[in-house]
Structure 1
């Protein structure tokens, strides 16, 4: 696989900063090129549109989430939640970007994939036929952890992880206490 150029990486980093500062929809390619001190055509050489640029920033998140779900065994409870936390903490800026501009999920056709990942994570955690109450608790567990990595990104990772995983396990109720 070809390695991205330094310019491409710089464009993505600058775009990520601007997207977090002012939102995806409020950031133009001109603003990105101005901040970088490059011409707009130079930016277009690497990314033909804002959508393509956003997709390139989110692609590693998508790939890692898919690999994460595919590489897990059912019944890993606490370990699954801890590893999931580590993954989403690593991508907290990208998650914040999407939370501030949820239309990005629609534009990049990620809504269905996102729900599928959540369903697969729930199945890994609870098995193939969980009760409605268990599925609701899993939604609170995974959703709460995702919110924590964004809302508390200014705190030390280990502090947030311990509290978020414990809260997720508490939300799961007796199901969350089956692992050592």
Structure 2
């Protein structure tokens, strides 16, 4: 059973929003493990006690930074699960994930490239169960090993393509188009072999 994210979800307030924005900037610059609560306080010009007032641990801050994206990903999975056809399910997942990544490029840079952030998500968040739901929607029932590998490459590749230095200069709309095109081609090439297996 996945742990819920409620304790880390920020309550409304300018102070929390500024704190999370400063934390994300520092995470992107220094990594999660290289960022201390004191650094976040210094970036905001407040005491460490003021940071503790909002969040008790750095894990809580990481979860609060990522929770809106996790919630959106859960909504994408839910929408896809309500579709009747496999094609519609896969398309809903692809478009949803690509749009989420393109809109949150700096966040995905932190998540994909930081082992501490990945560990926090795996240990404390609803992310593992959600990842399994997304993978199941892409591969469908009773997938062959090749389909599972293709889907794994696809998901890893989408995350990398959203923030890697090679794509930093590509505008959002163009990047979105290329990501969707590549994702669809990869899955389309897998479908015939999966059907004949």
TM-score class, shorter: 0.7 to 0.9
Q: TM-score, normalised by structure 1?
A: 0.84
Gapped regions of structure 2 (runs ≥ 5):
1-8, 193-197
Aligned match of 1:156? 171
In structure 1, distance between residues paired with 2:77 and 2:92: 13
Tell me the residue number matched to 2:104.
Answer: 91
Q: Is 2:191 the partner of 1:175?
A: yes
Pairs within 5 Å for 1:47-86: 47-72=55-80, 73=83, 74-76=86-88, 77-86=90-99
Coordinate RMSD, CA, aligned: 2.5
Deviation per CA, 1:46-86, whole angstroms, max 9, x where unpaired?
A: 11121111111111122121221122123224443122200
> TM-score, structure 2 length as denominator?
0.78
Which stretch of structure 1 is more off in the superposition, 116-125 or 84-93? 116-125
Aligned partner of 1:143 in structure 2 is 156
- How far apart are residue 123 of structure 1 and its match? 2.9
Aligned residues: 176
Provide the C-alpha distance between the structure 2 equivalents of 1:80 and 1:94, rounded to a whole number of angstroms: 19
Moved over 3 A (4+): 77-80, 108-119
Residue 4 of structure 1, CA deviation: 1.6
Gaps of 5+ in 1: none
